[in-house]
């Protein structure tokens, strides 16, 4: 098989491409790549040296990509795990994004960037302006700064997932506050995202502006699903973070579409439980994850 | 004069140190370092090559630091302007932060990071875990994720400015929405920041958890000042972004303290107007800026 690049493989719309990749594998799932050196399969004391640690993370992630590429359509890199190694970590992240793309994976960079006007332009350039085969398809962004903090990220062929409802306990303090009109703050943000996203809808019916909606409160998710019919939901909180199948179902529409569930630790550290061939453990965990969610939403 | 490092120069509390630096120069101001290659003093066509552009930015910022170090207590690096050059840009940013610290400047990294739990830990490590003389004193963070997205950044001797009210037009859409209890969303965030910051107050009476409060709506700033008496306000929006002296005054308390105003383009590109020695223009603009704000709040 020849290498597939964007220029050869339509659709070029970020949402259409992601939906197509999900349906091809009947797997609305994403593996989160949040590596920490302490949990790698084979780390010695030398892992405490930052340069050696960064190298160990690089090798581990290359192994992960090989182990998961045939089972899932998408990976999500947690930028912080690479940023912590400074410019060396960023160089490794750039390389690994290219490696993921070579394996025909859709790539989300989870960096939760958010700034205004010209600074948002710079962040968009930072993420998307490198050679097309080395940059992610999607970026997570923070929507607290409003529309002018979001528009710069909506570039042709790329997409952004805006934070709407996060899965952490502290998220409630702000996001569930009630406005005078009865909506929660998260619902207010959802309305803004739906309105901005309307101009960026592809043939699939989904927008290149998606939404991050955590899996921990399914009643909130159901409301948000109604408020954002054209958004693909990126759903963290499954697996190690405590969410189960029932918690993520409300993020999907009635036809089992419109969301992609992400799990990290339960997949990438699967080898900790059985201690056999670590890549085999990861592959099996990724398959199990894809099967759990794919079956639950009726794609399998 | 010997080089000053943290270990030799108390106070070690981030807010105490910043307040002391401001009072030493009677200058509650910060120069924002947001360089774009197109506006540098001497850029040829070769500036279009990313590697050459990054090098040109490095030289320019070194010149800026020399030009401004004696007039202002603090500089703020806009991370996006460096991230856009990938790992090379990050290496330059790391070097320039060290250079700023060698010039005895307080350093804010304006990266608006925000994530939950373990990922926030990684971001805090990314920013603060390098050698003490190479990492910033303060980081800007996004507070939409709540308390567990804020606590990881509050490390001993370091500080964080949480976004409360931004100066962009789009910020209004969300931040000025009214809650059922009559407060705006920004005021609700302010209450959260004041409460979390209470545990991190130094001898100066100010907390290591500060607040970003834009200069564009002075009536909002006055309310926020009352809600956050222990927060140092980092105030963008002055100068090129449209705010004037009257707009920033409500961010200060009655004794002319508790805020630091930041300006970037009006200082770092001051040479565009007179086209003489560029560093001299920057020095003069920085002095003028310090004098305008220092006089207006009664420190001079």
pLDDT digits (tens, 9 = 90+) for A61-108: 999 999 999 999 999 999 999 999 999 999 999 999 999 999 999 999
- Judge whether A44 lies within some domain: yes
Q: What's the average model confidence in pLDDT over B47-76? A: 92
| Distance set, CA A4 to CA A34, A75, A79, A208 (Å) | 26, 17, 25, 21
Separation in Å, CA of B168 to nearest CA in chain A: 6
Q: Which domain holds residue B35?
A: 6-296
User: pLDDT tens digits for B178-206?
Assistant: 999 999 999 999 999 999 999 999 999 99
If residue B20 lies in a helix (H) or strand (E), which one and from where to where? helix B14-25
Task: Please check whether residue B6 touches A, CB under 8 A.
Answer: no
Answer yes or no: do A114 and B192 touch at CB < 8 A.
no
Please state, in angstroms and as integers, the Cα–Cα distance from residue A11 to each residue in A21, A234, A278, B18, following that order: 10, 20, 35, 52
Q: What's the length of chain A? A: 300
Q: Do B83 and A122 touch (CB under 8 A)?
A: yes
Q: How many domains does chain A have?
A: 1
pLDDT classification of A49: cutoffs 50, 70, 90: confident
Measured in whole angstroms, the distance separating CA B48 from the mean position of its chain's CA atoms is: 28
CA distance B185 to chain A (A): 8
A242 touches B at CB < 8 Å? no
- Give the separation between CA A263 and CA A32, rounded to whole angstroms: 6
The mean pLDDT of B233-258, rounded to a whole number, is 89
CATH number for the domain that contains residue A194 = 3.20.20.70
For residue B278, give Cα distances in angstroms to B41, B42, B66, B272.
7, 10, 12, 8
Domain membership of residue A1 (yes or no) is no
Residue of B nearest to A179 (CA): B179
pLDDT of residue B173: 85
pLDDT (average), residues A265-283 = 90
Does A267 reside within a domain? Answer: yes
**What residues of A are in contact with residue B149 (Cβ under 8 Å)?**
166, 168, 170-171
B116, A175: Cβ pair inside 8 Å?
Answer: no
**Residue of chain B nearest A32, judged by CA positions:** B119
In this structure, what token pair is assigned to residue B188?
Answer: 């609700």
Q: Does the pLDDT value for residue A243 go beyond 80? A: no
Of A32, A109, A106, residue with least CA distance to A289: A32
In a domain, B75, yes or no: yes
Which chain A residues are closer than 8 Å to B193 by Cβ? none
Check CB contact of A97 with chain B, cutoff 8 Å.
no
Q: Which of A83, A148, A179 sits opposite B179 (nearest CB)?
A: A179
pLDDT of residue A246 exceeding 60: yes
Strand partners, A3: none
Does the distance separating the beta carbons of A174 and B189 come in below 8 Å? yes
- Give, as one character, the DSSP assignment of residue B2: P
Residues of A whose CB is below 8 A from B178? 179-180
Point out the least confidently predicted range of A97-106, B104-113, B242-251: B242-251
Say yes or no for a CB contact (<8 Å) between B142 and A112: yes
User: Quick check: is B118 in a domain?
Assistant: yes
Distance between B84 CA and the closest CA of chain A, angstroms: 3
Q: What value does the mean pLDDT take over residues B252-269? A: 95
Q: Judge whether residue A46 has pLDDT over 80.
A: no
Establish if B134 touches chain A: CB-CB under 8 angstroms.
no
Tell me which of A110-114, A130-134, B80-84 is least confident. A130-134
List the 181-240 stretch of B: residues with Cβ below 8 A of A: 182, 185, 188-189, 192
pLDDT tens for B3-20 read 344 445 546 899 999 999
Cα B295 versus chain centre, distance: 20
CA separation for the pair A230, A202 (Å, rounded): 10
Q: What are phi and psi of A115, to 5 degrees?
A: -155, 180
Question: Is the predicted pLDDT of residue A207 greater than 90, yes or no?
Answer: yes
ipTM, two decimals, is: 0.92
Q: Does A88 touch chain B (CB under 8 A)?
A: yes
pLDDT at B9: 55
3-state secondary structure of A30: strand
Pick from A87, A114, A179: CB nearest B178 = A179
Q: Which of A36, A82, A83 should be substituted to probe chain B, the one whose Cβ sees the most B Cβ atoms within 10 Å?
A: A83
Query: Which positions of B are annotated as active-site residues?
Result: 112
Element (H, E) at A127: helix A117-128
Q: B68 lies in a domain?
A: yes
Is residue B1 domain-resident?
no
| pLDDT at B169 (0 to 100) | 82
Q: For chain B, what percent of residues have pLDDT higher than 70?
A: 93
Distance of CA A204 to the CA centre of its chain: 19
- The A residues from 157 to 186 touching B (CB cutoff 8 Å) are 163, 166-175, 177-180, 182, 185
Give the whole-angstrom CA distance, residue A117 versus residue A122.
Answer: 9
Dihedral sign from CA coordinates of A210, A211, A214, A217: negative
Beta strands in B103-172 (DSSP E): 106-113, 138-141, 159-165
Cβ–Cβ of B144/A143 closer than 8 Å? yes
Residue of B nearest to A120 (CA): B80
What distance in Å separates the CA atoms of residue B221 and residue B216, rounded to the nearest whole number?
A: 9
- Write down the pLDDT at residue B160: 98
Instruction: Give the number of other Cβ atoms within 10 Å of residue B24's Cβ.
Output: 10
Identify the pLDDT of residue B47: 61
Residue A287 a catalytic site member: no
Whether residue B116 and residue A188 make contact (CB cut-off 8 A), yes or no, is: no
Query: Among partner residues A129, A144, A178, which is closest to B144 by beta-carbon distance?
Result: A144
Mean pLDDT value across chain B: 91
* A169 to B149: CB separation less than 8 angstroms, yes or no: no
Task: Kindly state whether B112 is in contact with chain A, defined as any CB-CB distance less than 8 angstroms.
Answer: yes
Task: Indicate the pLDDT class of residue B44, thresholds 50, 70 and 90.
Answer: low
Residue A47's pLDDT band (cuts 50, 70, 90)? low
pLDDT at A273: 83
Question: Angle at CA B280, nearest 5°, toward B276 and B286?
Answer: 125
């Amino acid at each position: 098989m020849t290498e597939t690049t964007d220029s050869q493989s339509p659709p070029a719309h970020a949402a259409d491409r992601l939906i197509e990749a999900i349906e091809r594998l009947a797997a609305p799932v994403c593996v989160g790549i949040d590596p920490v050196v302490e949990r790698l399969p084979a780390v010695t004391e030398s892992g405490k040296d930052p340069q050696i640690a960064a190298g160990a993370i690089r090798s581990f992630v290359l192994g992960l990509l090989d182990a998961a590429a045939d089972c899932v359509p998408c990976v999500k890199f947690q930028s912080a795990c690479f940023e912590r190694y400074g410019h060396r970590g960023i160089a490794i992240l750039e390389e690994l994004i290219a490696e993921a793309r070579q394996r025909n994976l859709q790539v989300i960079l989870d960096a939760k960037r958010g700034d205004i006007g010209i600074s948002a332009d710079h962040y968009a350039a930072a993420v998307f302006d490198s050679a097309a085969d080395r940059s992610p398809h999607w970026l997570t962004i923070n929507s607290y700064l409003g529309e002018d903090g979001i528009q710069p990220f909506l570039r042709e062929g790329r997409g952004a997932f805006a934070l709407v409802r996060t899965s952490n306990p502290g998220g409630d303090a702000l996001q569930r506050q009630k406005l005078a009109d009865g909506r929660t703050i998260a619902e207010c943000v959802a309305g803004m995202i739906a309105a901005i996203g309307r101009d960026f809808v592809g043939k699939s019916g989904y927008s290149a502006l998606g939404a991050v909606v955590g899996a921990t409160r399914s009643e909130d998710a159901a409301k948000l699903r109604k408020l954002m019919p054209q958004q693909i939901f990126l759903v963290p909180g499954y697996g190690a973070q405590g969410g189960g199948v029932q918690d993520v179902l409300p993020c999907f529409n009635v036809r089992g579409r419109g969301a992609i569930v992400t799990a990290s630790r339960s997949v990438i550290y699967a080898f900790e439980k059985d201690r056999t061939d670590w890549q085999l453990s990861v592959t099996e965990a990724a398959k199990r994850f894809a099967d759990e969610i794919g079956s639950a939403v009726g794609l399998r």
